[in-house]
Structure 1
Amino acid sequence: MFKFWIEYDINPFIVFDYKSNIIYCNQEAEIFLSYINKKEVFEFAIKNAPNNGIKTEFKEIKFDKFEFMGYSIGFYEEKLGVRFFINTEKQNLTLHNLEKVKFSMLLEFVKEYLNLKGINIDTFYDPSIPEIYLNKKELLNIIFEMLENSKSAKISSKIIVGEYIKIDNKKYPLAQIDIITKPFKKIKSDFFEIENSQNGYSIKIPLIKEINENNTA
């Protein structure tokens, strides 16, 4: 029973032996470790492990593009276990006025519209992003607001591996639009999670593949 729950936990869980070999990892950890060197994870676990028992700490941790809100690390029978906590509820998002959108076509429209306004846009689309339901009007307004004072920008899209978001008690994988430009203000949204940085903006979008008759996911 314990192994069943760990296997389907959304948080990566890994058990090492004293030689850094992986004895066990759940499904989320398999995805995580397919992108991150296991040695880096083992060294982090060794460095932060307590002398005995379990150590749990909540703070931002980053491995390349994987971001976690904390971890639990401990030794048991000469084995080292580490569990990273994914932040699934960074803000309360809403799902309203959804319509089906082909991601690449939406970003191509953005590029053509901004080119007409004299803004040079370079784009890169992840072809693996499927048709999804989202609030298209809100997303377009956000992107145009981000770029209204720009002369040029780079826009790319991708699926975020190993990260999810919960909205109305449902779990969704995420896609992300990265906009590299000189930001001029902080932008927020009730529909998408937005990260503001000195290099531009990132918009995290729930991958909603179907909705019910009431236009909700």
Structure 2
Amino acid sequence: MTFEQQWIEYDYNPFVLFSSNGKILSLNAEAQFLLGAVTTEELFSLTTTYANVTFGFKTTFIELEFGRYRFFALTVGYENDDAIGIKLYQAPSFKLNNQKPVGELVNIYTLVDLCMLTHSINSKIFFEKDFDPTIPEVIIDSNNFIKILNKIYSCYENNEKIVTKIFYRVGEHIKFENKKYSIFSIEISSKNIDKERVNELKALAANTNFYIDIQKKITINIPMITS
């Protein structure tokens, strides 16, 4: 792999090269993760829709969202009828307060399991777990975290199933005191959401150092501070 190819491979922004009939010829590492949230057909359709009328490159500013991915622009380019490429530019998916979180070193899985257990008592809801097992113990305010997570689960109480996903955010970091920290997320989702309790969640989160991303899914984004 040449130095130029490595730049493409490890770019934070997804890149995909298609054949004329929509078959993937090559893609970088970030695009492989993106394909977990969008189909090849959808990406190819997006590529052809925003391609220049004639050969060349065209950049379009457009807001797109696929799962946890959000984009603010894309570039489509082709030099012949055999291949066409697309690059999507990731928007900052969330902000965190500049103040470094304080608290105690905790096992995040234990706290999440505790909250799920609390809400499963006298409930017929099925709690599905999709956990990345590699998240280390981190420093957080466990009391506020439990309050927020319990409030999130209460937003989905009128459902048969609630899915909780814990995952590492590839390529995303935050700096505190000139030191860079990786980020992971706890994502809770279900079919129906209680909008009144969502407003209560927003008020609760505003008084903490946690950033909550509220869409159809609700996500807590946490820096991996281990000491």
TM-score of Structure 1 vs Structure 2, range by shorter chain: 0.7 to 0.9
Is 1:195 the equivalent of 2:210? no
Relative to 1, partners in 2 of residues 1:54 and 1:192: Cα closer, same or farther, differing over 3 Å? Answer: farther
In 2, distance between residues paired with 1:101 and 1:67?
A: 30
CA contact (8 A) 1:72 1:83 kept: yes
Aligned to 2:220: 204
Cα pair 1:164 1:174 within 8 Å, conserved: no
Deviation, 1:24, is 2.0
For structure 2, list consecutive stretches of 5 or more residues without a partner in the other structure.
none
2:98 counterpart of 1:97: no
Cα distance in 1 for residues equivalent to 2:189 and 2:36? 26
C-alpha contact (below 8 Å) 1:49/1:73 kept by paired residues? yes
TM-score if structure 2 supplies the norm length? Answer: 0.71
SS of 1:60's partner is strand
C-alpha change, 1:102 and 1:152, in structure 2 (3 Å) is: farther
Query: 1:58-97: per-residue Cα shift (whole Å, max 9, x none)?
Result: 3321345543333111223443111112223532334412
Work out the CA distance in 2 between the residues paired with 1:44 and 1:109. Answer: 42
Change (3 A) 1:150 1:127: closer
Instruction: Tell me, in whole angstroms, the C-alpha distance in 2 between the residues paired with 1:150 and 1:42.
Output: 35
* 1:177 match: 187
CA shift, 1:133, in A, is: 1.3
Are positions 1:126 and 2:138 aligned together? no
| Identical positions, percent | 19
The two structures, once aligned, show a CA RMSD in angstroms of 3.4
- Given that 1:126 and 1:158 are in contact with CA atoms closer than 8 Å, whether structure 2 keeps it comes out as yes
**Offset, 1:119:** 7.7
Partner of 1:60: 63
**Worse overlay, 76-85 or 98-107:** 98-107
Tell me by how many angstroms 1:45 deviates.
0.3
What number of residue pairs does the alignment pair up?
A: 208
Question: TM-score if structure 1 supplies the norm length?
Answer: 0.73
Corresponding residue for residue 139 of structure 1: 145
Amino acid at match of 1:142: I
- Structure 1 CA distance, aligned partners of 2:156 and 2:166? 26
Residues 102 and 131, structure 1, Cα contact 8 Å, conserved in 2:
yes
Structure 1: state its 5+ residue gaps: none
Match of 1:166 among 159, 163, 173: 173
User: Which of 11, 26, 29 is residue 28 of structure 2 equivalent to?
Assistant: 26
Secondary structure of the structure 1 residue equivalent to 2:45? helix
Change (3 A) 1:9 1:159: farther
Residues 1:41 and 1:90: Cα distance change in structure 2 (over 3 Å): same
Contact 2:10 2:28 in 1 (8 A): yes
